[in-house]
Amino acid sequence: MCLAVPMTVESIDGESCVAVYGGVRTQVQTSLLDDVALGDTVLVHAGFAIEKLDPEEAQRTLELLEELGQLQELQIQEMQNSGSETEV
């Protein structure tokens, strides 16, 4: 499964930037997008900013990712409680 994560642009240097999500900072290539600015929220996949997001869309995406994480935690707890060794 491929996953792209919304990240906020914190600094820009040419065609790359430092973007942050959840306290994690990473170097991101911005060459696929025009006009990336400080504070923009970009969708990052495999180290590349692939789309700029409006703030509402970014928030919805982050909420969905959080829900998926909570769902996975529940599935892991269920498996541990049932003694199952199957991986999620």
Taking residues 53-80, report their average pLDDT. Answer: 82
SS3 track for the chain: CCCCEEEEEEEEECCEEEEEECCEEEEEECCCCCCCCCCCEEEEECCEEEEEECHHHHHHHHHHHHHHHHHHHHHHHHHHHHCCCCCC
pLDDT confidence bin for 48, thresholds 50/70/90: very high
pLDDT at 73 (0 to 100):
76
The predicted structure's pLDDT at residue 47: 95
Averaged pLDDT, 2-28: 92
Give the per-residue pLDDT at 29.
98
